[in-house]
Structure 1
Amino acid sequence: MRVGITGHRGLSTEVERQVRRLLDQAVHDYVSTDLIGVSCIADGADAWFAEAVLRHGGRLEVVVPAMEYRDGLPDWHHPVYDELIRHASDVHETGLITSDSAAHMAGSETLVGLVDVLIAVWDGEPARGYGGTADVVAYGKHTGTPVRVLWPEGATRG
C-alpha cells in the first residue's frame, strides 16, 4: 500500500504530540500491507509521518518539489530532512528550481499521483496560501484518491 501525507506545519507542542500519536496509529494500520510512505518531508506532519513509516518498518519515498526546497525549510529542520532523505528508497523530483507555492503544489500533485491513499493532517479550514493542506486535499479528492483526515478532537492550529 502506497500512503502519502499532507498536513500542517507550525503546530503547538501539545497538538504536535496528539498528531504524532494519530499518525503512529494510522501508519500501524497499514503495516501489514507492505507499506510505502510518500512524503515531501517538510517540518511538521510530513516529517512525523515519514519517521513513523520508518519506525514501523515501512519504506519511505520522498518527493522534492524544487531544487531549492530544502533551503526554504527552517534551519533547525535541515538535519531531520537530511536524515530522512538518506533513508528514502526513492526520490521523486518535479524538475522545478524555485521553492514557491506553485512548486509546493506541484510536489503535492506528484505525491498524490504516486499513492493509493492520502493521509491529511488537516483542521478542515481553508488553505492559508496556494498549495496548502486544503488545496492538496481538494486535489486528492478531485483525482479520486481516497483521503483520510486526521485531526485531534478540539485542537486548533493556532
Structure 2
Amino acid sequence: MVTLAVTGHRDLTDQTAELVRAELRKLLATRAADGPLVGLSCLAAGADTIFAEELVDAGGELVVVFPARGYRENRGHAAHAPSFDRLVRAAVEVQELHFSEVSQEAYQAANEVLLARADVVVAVWDGRPPAGPGGTGELVQRSRAAGVEVVRVWPEGAARTGGQGG
C-alpha cells in the first residue's frame, strides 16, 4: 500500500486544472501498479480536489483531513460544493482538527498530519518559494527535510489565476 498526500495551489486556471488532472491520472495509474493507494487531501478547491477525484476514480481510498471545524462553510466552498460533498461521502476516513476556524496555524497542523502519514507528497506546485506557513511550498520544504519523497506536478503551460492559492 502506498499513501500519497496532496498539496497544491487552489488558483489554477481552467486549462491548468485539466493539464494537472491528466498528469495526476497518469501518476496514480503508475503508483497503483505498486499496490493499493491511499490518498490524503484537505479537499481545498483546485489541486486538492482534483487529486481526490482522480484517486477515487482510480479506486484508491481517500482520507480527508479538515484543518478546522466547519471547514466547508468557513472556506466558501459553494462553487465546488457538489464535488466536495461527493468526496466526503466517498472517504474511508474524515479527520477534523480541533481548530475553531481556518488559519495559518490550522493549515500548518493539517500539513503535519499529511506529512506524518505520507509515503509520498504529491505537490501541484509552481516551484516558487513558500509564501508563508501552512502553504504548498512550505510542505514541500518540510517533506524534503524529513526525507519524504516529493513528486512535483506542474505540466508545461501550467499557470495560476493570480489569486490566493496555497
Query: How many positions carry a matched residue from both structures?
Result: 158
Please list the CA deviations of residues 22-51 of structure 1 after superposition, one character each: whole Å capped at 9, or x if unmatched. Answer: 111111111131111111111111111111
Aligned partner (choices 86, 89, 96) of residue 86 of structure 1: 89
CA contact (8 A) 2:68 2:96 kept: yes
Match of 2:53 in 1: 51
1:11 aligns with 2:12: yes
- What is the distance in 2 between the residues matched to 1:102 and 1:154? 33
Q: Which runs of 4+ in 1 moved over 4 A?
A: none
Shift of 1:109: 1.4
Match of 2:24 in 1: 23
Q: Percent identity?
A: 39
Match of 1:109 in 2: 112
1:143 and 1:91, CA in 2 relative to 1: closer, same or farther beyond 3 A?
A: same
1:123 aligns with 2:126: yes
Shift of 1:121: 0.4
Q: TM-score, normalised by structure 2?
A: 0.89
Match of 2:70 in 1: 68
- What is the distance in 2 between the residues matched to 1:117 and 1:127? 19
Q: TM-score, normalised by structure 1?
A: 0.93
CA contact (8 A) 2:16 2:157 kept: no
Shift of 1:94: 2.2
Cα RMSD (Å) = 1.3
